[in-house]
Structure 1
Amino acid sequence: MKFLFILQIITSSDKNMNISDFLIGGFAGMGAICFTNPLEVIKTRLQLQGELAARGTYAKPYKGIIHAFVTVIRHEGWQALEKGLVPALHFQFILNSIRLGIYKMCMNNKWIHNRNGDISFLRGMLWGAVGGVCGSFCASPFFMVKIQLQAQTKTCVAVGYQHKHNGMSNAFRNILKQSGFFGLWRGATGVLPIGSSTQIATFGKTKAILSDYNLVIQPTLNSFCAAFAAGTVVAVAITPPDVISTRLYNQGMDVDDKGVLYKGWLDCAYKTFSIEGIPGLYKGFWANYLRQAPHSTLMLLFFDLLITVRDKYQKRFKSD
């Protein structure tokens, strides 16, 4: 009832429709991460394992997804699977309130449609990229803190640089003290718009195709199928830049406040590829896929369902 009351306030006039679209996008992202954060932890560990080391030359404390789950639980307990959840919730709200809000605004204004009124995949990618860049940049500090907290573990199973944070607030204080305000955006260039653009474009186009050809016309099932397709596509597209982002955000800093391993995004991509090859850029792919597919499915499904509830409640509110 409280949620419906909020919808009543923010949809009391058509002028506020775009505001509620942005808020609903944020809530949808937060709802999805509550289910998929454990896979985020596993993905982060796998992406940092064997960093800048040739295959077969390093120890592997995590020998796969299932083994990684068992290892984390054995050494740190079940609660370790929710490491970084608080900054992840902040990250998801900021990221998705912006990019899904922009997507819905573009849909309402027909900016994603071509002259025939059909949804354009390329225009969807363009506006998905715009929303992804804006959302990712604004939410970047929380993504950094999330990665660093998820990487922290006991020495016997540690991978990557180990930061000494005692929670989100302490992490922000440590980063500000060492690198200043702009240090919170270190590595932000690694968050490319690839994932967002392919996700949004695939979701919109798949929904239209399933509906136009009468393949899946039931609204909730239509959204579910389209969201699953979007999650599958985005997992393939986003894994390399995601590996690079994880490593940039997690690397330690020297006394001159410069990265101990990488100078920037291109340097990280070059070193990873030259030393670890293509497999290095796809480390943690299956964990990323198992995370991305359900995360995208849940997030976009929640988004469509909340939009539907909002619209129905607004009509009822206006008729009363």
Structure 2
Amino acid sequence: MNVKNQPSKPKLRTWASVISGSLAATGAVFFTNMPETIKTRMQLDGEASIRNGVGTKKQYSNIFDAYKKIIRQEGFKALQAGLGPAIGIQVIMNGLRLGLFEPIQHTIRNLTNCREQSTLNKVFSGAMSGVIGVTISSPLYLAKNRLQAQSNYFHAAEEHHYKNTIDCLKKIYQRSGIFGLFYGVTAALPRVIVGSATQLTTYDKLKEFSIQSLNLRDGLPAHLFASFISSLFTVTMMNPFDVISTRIYQSSGRQTVYNGVIDCCKKTVRTEGWRALQNGWLALYLRLGPHTIITFVFLEKIRAWFLTFDRFSTNPQPIPIDVLVNSDAS
């Protein structure tokens, strides 16, 4: 049969795809917010104060010690600190990434008169959709970061006291205005650009390798293999930017002062050494790997449900779900 005459597969409408991605990521964050809380605290652990310019004594020796102390001292509920803004981040971030990823690719193909799917186009489109998503959701990142670090038992160099997400955003706005809500976004941009570019590139290559060289089925086995190995590369490349981003979001100029990404990096390395840029690596990996896979499983189910209703779908060739999911490096 001629390929041109074959019926095209159904594709979700853009708004339905956005909703699917948001719902899938929201479901995943209930499981992955706990390692995110651990990661945030470990990245702030040992941060230097401007009072003495030296790093404080570390309160957690490793990720397992952090889990044990938080549960014993604060209860299991403390592991879900910042869950409210974390859900908001997933709704906005993944909605925009999944909704804009393909339109950006399509625009680039039209501008360059290139009809082929190139890796460079995917990397650029994933990075651009990530930049848009992280910029708009930055106030929620700010709230999530500070609420996860807030504790009577964990003492960051810069401490905050908020009742909830609304109280956090309200106080930041009253103190610094609208621009204060986007404080730290310049540190988040390199993180999402590096993370998206690394993840998209390595995932595509690893998936191709697993199918052609390892003879894995082009389905869940290949996706699991590519996701986990890709996460190793992604976390290693992204973690230094994640540490810097976490510390800048936490800072309000009272005990810690950073004049941008480079200044934060220099101060961190000078007081704590280069290894500090990989603080929380395992926690980030335990968050990113499962988040990708759980989101993928949920997205499959939600998209399948939406596609059972004609009003949610159109006929053009669909975007592969694995590509959409792995454009998320948040």
TM-score grouping bracket, smaller chain normalisation: 0.7 to 0.9
Deviation at 1:195, TM superposition (A): 1.0
Aligned CA distance change for structure 1 residues 108 and 220 (closer, same or farther; 3 Å): farther
Aligned CA distance change for structure 1 residues 260 and 276 (closer, same or farther; 3 Å): closer
Aligned CA distance change for structure 1 residues 318 and 300 (closer, same or farther; 3 Å): closer
Q: What is residue 50 of structure 1 aligned with on the other side?
A: 46
Q: What is residue 291 of structure 2 aligned with on the other side?
A: 295
Query: Is contact 2:211–2:222 with CA below 8 Å preserved after alignment?
Result: yes
Query: Is contact 1:147–1:250 with CA below 8 Å preserved after alignment?
Result: yes
Aligned CA distance change for structure 1 residues 29 and 172 (closer, same or farther; 3 Å): same
Deviation at 1:96, TM superposition (A): 1.1
Q: Distance in 2 between matches of 1:111 and 1:99?
A: 18
Q: Distance in 2 between matches of 1:209 and 1:194?
A: 22
The amino acid of 1:188's aligned partner reads V
Q: What is residue 7 of structure 1 aligned with on the other side?
A: none
More off after superposition, 307-316 vs 225-234: 307-316
Deviation at 1:161, TM superposition (A): 1.4
Q: Distance in 2 between matches of 1:151 and 1:289?
A: 19
Give the alignment's Cα RMSD to 1 decimal: 3.2
Query: Is contact 2:82–2:145 with CA below 8 Å preserved after alignment?
Result: yes
Alignment match of 2:154 (pick from 151, 154, 157): 157
**Any idea what SS the aligned residue of 1:160 has?**
coil
Query: Is contact 2:48–2:56 with CA below 8 Å preserved after alignment?
Result: no
Deviation at 1:202, TM superposition (A): 3.2
Query: Is contact 1:128–1:201 with CA below 8 Å preserved after alignment?
Result: no
Which has the bigger relative contact order, CA under 8 A and spacing at least 6?
2
Query: Is contact 2:157–2:256 with CA below 8 Å preserved after alignment?
Result: no
Aligned CA distance change for structure 1 residues 317 and 243 (closer, same or farther; 3 Å): closer
The amino acid of 1:137's aligned partner reads T
Deviation at 1:260, TM superposition (A): 3.9
Q: What is residue 59 of structure 1 aligned with on the other side?
A: 57
The amino acid of 1:26's aligned partner reads S
CA deviations on 1:113-161 (whole Å, 9 max, x unpaired) are: x9794x533322111110111111111000000000000011x431231
Query: Is contact 1:30–1:93 with CA below 8 Å preserved after alignment?
Result: yes
Alignment match of 1:268 (pick from 261, 264, 267): 264
Identity of aligned residues (%): 32
Is the aligned partner of 1:183 residue 2:160?
no
| Paired residues for 1:76-155 under 5 Å | 76-105=74-103, 111=109, 117=116, 119-154=117-152
Aligned CA distance change for structure 1 residues 250 and 76 (closer, same or farther; 3 Å): same
* Structure-1-length-normalised TM-score: 0.82
Aligned CA distance change for structure 1 residues 242 and 289 (closer, same or farther; 3 Å): same
More off after superposition, 119-128 vs 276-285: 119-128
Q: What is residue 229 of structure 1 aligned with on the other side?
A: 229
Deviation at 1:317, TM superposition (A): 8.2
Q: What is residue 37 of structure 2 aligned with on the other side?
A: 41
Query: Is contact 2:37–2:81 with CA below 8 Å preserved after alignment?
Result: yes
Q: Distance in 2 between matches of 1:188 and 1:80?
A: 26
The amino acid of 1:195's aligned partner reads G
Q: Distance in 2 between matches of 1:23 and 1:226?
A: 25
Is the aligned partner of 1:29 residue 2:25?
yes
Q: Distance in 2 between matches of 1:109 and 1:214?
A: 35
Query: Is contact 2:29–2:86 with CA below 8 Å preserved after alignment?
Result: yes
Deviation at 1:174, TM superposition (A): 0.8
**Any idea what SS the aligned residue of 1:157 has?**
coil
Aligned CA distance change for structure 1 residues 289 and 200 (closer, same or farther; 3 Å): same
Deviation at 1:210, TM superposition (A): 4.1
